[in-house]
Structure 1
Amino acid sequence: MTEPTPTPRPVAEMSFEEALRELETIVQKLERGDVPLQESISQYERGDALRAHCDSLLQAAEAKVEKIRRGNDGAAAGTEPLDMD
């Protein structure tokens, strides 16, 4: 008898680092090509949700950095685009 697959943690509850780690694992599995088709589709869908979650968290972090860079009067204090490289 096989053990049931554990229910994955909801993406919305994951930190950026957790989501990125899981996304990297999914990409590796899909690149190896040793996953059955139906599971590949499920993994791809989860990976897309993880990617969107990471993107959302990055955008929120960028907005916080921009807010911090503003002066007390709300005027831009030499703001420039955040270098994501």
Structure 2
Amino acid sequence: MTEANGAADVATLTFEQARDELMHVVAELEQGAPTLEQSLSLWERGEALANRCDEWLVGARRRLDAARGPAEGDA
């Protein structure tokens, strides 16, 4: 998988898919990858997955805020 394909791949993941894969990446990093290159690759994938999860959470917050309407005193 190339870096561009990896980023595109992450962009299509649901929150749950990204979270689950991120947990797997963290577990692999904790065990220690055999090479520095593999560790860096895992780290980069983990960063992309964490960003995807954050995108989902920010979107969910916006939807909740919109559903609640203006806060009291915002009139």
Classify the TM-score, shorter chain: 0.7 to 0.9
Quick one: distance in 2 between partners of 1:24 and 1:62? 22
RMSD: 1.8
User: If the length of structure 2 is used for normalisation, what is the TM-score?
Assistant: 0.80
Q: Which has the higher contact order (CA 8 A, sep 6+)?
A: 2
Quick one: distance in 1 between partners of 2:67 and 2:44? 35
Greater helix share, structure number: 2
5+ residue gaps, structure 1, are 1-6, 71-75, 79-85
Q: Which amino acid in the other structure matches residue 21 of structure 2?
A: E
The equivalent of 1:49 in structure 2 is: 48
After superposition, the C-alpha distances for 1:6-30 in whole angstroms (9 at most, x for unaligned) are: x868000000000000000000000
Q: Which amino acid in the other structure matches residue 62 of structure 1?
A: R
Q: Which amino acid in the other structure matches residue 34 of structure 2?
A: V
Q: Which amino acid in the other structure matches residue 38 of structure 1?
A: E
Identity %: 37
Quick one: distance in 1 between partners of 2:42 and 2:10? 13
User: If the length of structure 1 is used for normalisation, what is the TM-score?
Assistant: 0.71
After superposition, the C-alpha distances for 1:22-60 in whole angstroms (9 at most, x for unaligned) are: 000000000011432111100100100000110011000
Equivalenced residue count is: 67
Q: Which amino acid in the other structure matches residue 25 of structure 2?
A: I
5+ residue gaps, structure 2, are none
Between structure 1 and structure 2, the one with the greater Rg is: 1
